[in-house]
């Protein structure tokens, strides 16, 4: 029988916007009750420093030199302290003793071909100061055994789909910087990245509108997309098995000839229609939507009634990934698999994560 924990999960995505933390009671299998969620936004200085560190690491060998820099030491300290601060806030809210932390950290380097990944954050300091065991380094074991090391959330998405099985949802689509999907077919869990989610939209918003993102898709809704440009882009896509994308795989360069309003509308159309194309190809009907992109009304309109906001079913779409790491931490301690052949390409279902004890 799996042990149940009061577990805090943390997540900070590759957009470096901030930290999500969630407190849940879970055994990483059949039990999951979310209690509280918190978010801390990074200031511009910290965001820029994280980008500098990431850009300094082009291969695993670069990490040795980067770790010796003042920038690395100071940034790691700030990131660790921010996590400690947020976790302490959740502990104060909790009615029960928190006895596990699932710490993802901030990815500075990930290369499946080189079987190496690195997430920033001092787990030893985290565990010592909080006096709670910390599960970390969730991806390395999968990479070591031939997997992509990502995605990790699908097994939690599977739990959500099973909890809502009477609603007949076939998949969970997360529209973050990258759009990704977890779906069940023939009683097997599959997962892959689909294509750009918010990454091109956010970049366009910053360059042409001087805003961080198109709030609720308001500016995207003011214009019609250029369908020739959009469909030409979509037609070049092919959906592979266990595909994993990075922001650097996509560029706004080929859209720069468009008027700025048309550009946003076109990019929203592309995000939505890449998802629709994938759903049609895999014969997937109705999906739950999580991530920031679910708030973009232009994207949701283009999805033509096949996407349902996960918030409507007592989940918070802004914190699915941090909740997932609370769940994954419990799975790890209970020695349950967190990655699968159809999610990361690993040969056999595999557990992962290391445990830093107090």
**CA angle at residue 100 from 290 to 47, to 5 degrees?**
55
pLDDT of 240 reads: 76
pLDDT of 87 reads: 98
Residue pair 197/179 in contact (Cβ under 8 Å)? The answer is yes
Rounded Cα distance between 116 and 242, Å, is 17
Q: Are strands 307-309 and 287-290 parallel, antiparallel or unpaired?
A: parallel
Query: DSSP states of 7-26 as a string?
Result: EEEEE--TT--EEEEEEEEE
pLDDT of 143 reads: 97
Is the pLDDT reported for residue 61 higher than 90? yes
What does the buried/exposed string (b/e) look like for 98-112 if buried means 16 or more CB atoms within 10 Å of the residue's CB? bebbbbbbbbbbbbb
Query: DSSP states of 122-176 as a string?
Result: -HHHHHHHHTS-EEE--SHHHHHTT------THHHHHHHHHHTGGGT--EEEEES
pLDDT band at 332 (very low <50, low <70, confident <90, very high): very high
Span 287-297, average pLDDT: 97
Torsion of CA 275, 150, 169, 266, to 10 degrees: -20
Neighbours of 298 (CB within 10 A): 26
pLDDT of 239 reads: 85
129-132 long-range contacts (CB < 8 A, ≥24 apart) are 129/84, 130/84, 130/87, 130/88, 130/91, 130/101, 131/358, 132/98, 132/99, 132/100, 132/101, 132/358
Per DSSP (E only), the strands in 187-249 are 188-196
Domains and CATH numbers, the chain: 5-147+321-337+348-356 (3.30.420.40), 154-313 (3.30.420.40)
Span 198-214, average pLDDT: 96
Is the pLDDT reported for residue 167 higher than 80? yes
pLDDT band at 95 (very low <50, low <70, confident <90, very high): confident
Is the pLDDT reported for residue 242 higher than 80? no
pTM: 0.95
pLDDT 10s digits, 106-131: 999 999 999 999 999 999 999 999 99
Rounded Cα distance between 208 and 264, Å, is 10
pLDDT of 243 reads: 81
Residue pair 268/217 in contact (Cβ under 8 Å)? The answer is yes
Indicate the SS3 state at residue 117: strand
């Amino acid at each position: 029988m799996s042990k149940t924990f009061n577990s805090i999960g943390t997540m900070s995505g590759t957009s470096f916007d901030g930290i999500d933390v969630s407190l849940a009671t879970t055994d990483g299998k059949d039990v999951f009750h979310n209690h509280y969620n918190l978010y801390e936004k990074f200031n511009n200085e910290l965001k820029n420093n994280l980008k500098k560190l990431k850009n300094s690491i082009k291969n695993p060998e670069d990490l040795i030199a980067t770790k010796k820099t003042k920038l690395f030491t100071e940034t790691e300290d700030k990131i660790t302290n921010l996590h400690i601060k947020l976790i302490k806030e959740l502990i104060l809210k909790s009615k029960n003793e928190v006895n596990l932390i699932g710490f993802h950290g901030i990815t500075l380097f990930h290369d499946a071909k080189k079987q190496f990944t690195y997430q920033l954050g001092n787990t030893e300091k985290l565990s010592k100061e909080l006096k709670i065991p910390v599960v970390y380094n969730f991806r390395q074991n999968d990479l070591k055994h031939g997997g992509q090391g990502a995605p990790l959330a699908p097994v939690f998405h599977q739990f959500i789909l099973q909890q809502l099985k009477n609603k007949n949802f076939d998949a969970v689509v997360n529209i973050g910087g990258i759009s990704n999907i977890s779906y069940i077919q023939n009683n097997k869990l599959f997962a892959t990245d689909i294509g750009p989610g918010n990454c091109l939209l956010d970049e366009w918003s910053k360059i042409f509108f001087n805003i961080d993102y198109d709030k609720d898709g308001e500016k995207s809704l003011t214009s019609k997309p250029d369908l020739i440009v959009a469909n030409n882009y979509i037609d070049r896509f092919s959906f592979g098995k266990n595909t994993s994308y990075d922001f650097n795989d996509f560029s706004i360069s080929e859209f720069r000839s468009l008027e700025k309003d048309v550009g946003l509308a076109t990019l929203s159309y592309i995000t939505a229609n890449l998802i629709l194309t994938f759903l049609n190809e895999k014969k997937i009907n109705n999906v739950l939507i999580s991530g920031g992109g679910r708030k973009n009304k232009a994207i949701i309109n283009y999805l033509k009634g096949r996407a349902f906001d996960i918030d409507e079913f007592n989940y918070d779409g802004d914190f699915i990934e941090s909740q997932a790491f609370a769940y994954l931490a419990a799975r790890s301690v209970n020695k349950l698999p967190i990655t699968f052949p159809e999610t990361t390409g690993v040969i056999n279902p595999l557990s992962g994560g290391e445990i830093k004890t107090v």
